[in-house]
Amino acid sequence: MIGDVINLEKRHLETAGNIYKIIKENYKAGEKWAVGICGESGSGKSVTAFALQKVFEEHGIRSLVLQMDDYFRLPPKSNHENRQKSLEHVGMHEVHLEIIQQNIKQFKEGKISVEKPLVHYKENKISQEILELHDIQMLIIEGTYVLDLDDFDFSIFIDRTYKDTFENRMKRNRDEQSGFVEKVLDIEHHIIRRFKEKADLILEKNYQIVKP
């Protein structure tokens, strides 16, 4: 998503390095894998994804990160206004999960390029972009609901709730503090928790790796 800022810290890279060691036990050079990273708002999905991408690149594995935020049906401001009309609008139906699934399928089929949505946060609009995939071996997809899909070769669940991540969320200039937002996050919380049992690996609150 244009307008998002990712700051990688040493702990993120160390965790990504340990995740890489687990993944390489089953990954064979040349294979096309999709890795899913799921968690609540502010839990560290993006930093984990981009840290993992950096580690993959260091080991000669070309990778690409996709963010679920680009696949929302409405741009950010419009989506927020829609939620304010009714909290029934909060949920997986806000996202084009079917397009994420299609992009994963295209990637694994060996398509050299695919089209995907691209959210412009400040401009509150959605455009389209072409991704070049001809040399990509790992597709890393992060988002609150991505583990609803069964198309991943390896999946990660970050076990931190929206209450645990309050401070992180307040540091991001696109998050506001309000009772309404907390209600939205509570609804998301109850949806996301059920994805934990689908994960191949869990990151606890302190980023400690736990294998189910």
**Mean pLDDT, rounded, of the chain:** 91
Give, for 102, the enclosing helix (H) or strand (E). helix 97-108
pLDDT-derived band at 212 (thresholds 50, 70, 90) equals low
Q: How far apart are CA 132 and CA 129, in angstroms?
A: 10
pTM of the predicted protein model? 0.90
DSSP H helices in 38-122: 45-58, 76-85, 97-108
pLDDT of residue 10: 86
Confidence check: pLDDT of 3 > 70: no
Place of tokens 């309050």: 166
Q: Is the dihedral of CA 115, 147, 26, 60 positive or negative?
A: positive
Query: Across-strand partners of 201?
Result: 156
Please state, for a pLDDT cut of 70, what percent of the chain lies above it: 92
Both tokens of 185, joined, read 């996050």
Q: How far apart are CA 15 and CA 17, in angstroms?
A: 5
Give pLDDT tens digits for 68-124: 999 999 999 999 999 999 999 999 999 999 999 999 999 999 999 999 999 999 999
Place of tokens 């696109």: 174
Nearest to 12 by CA among 209, 201, 210, 212: 209
pLDDT of residue 129: 97
| Rg of the chain (C-alpha set) | 17
Query: Across-strand partners of 129?
Result: 116
Q: How far apart are CA 194 and CA 19, in angstroms?
A: 22
pLDDT-derived band at 176 (thresholds 50, 70, 90) equals low
Residue-range domain boundaries for the chain: 10-210
| Architecture in CATH of 10-210 | 3-Layer(aba) Sandwich (3.40)
Asked whether the beta carbons of 200 and 154 are under 8 A apart, the reply is yes
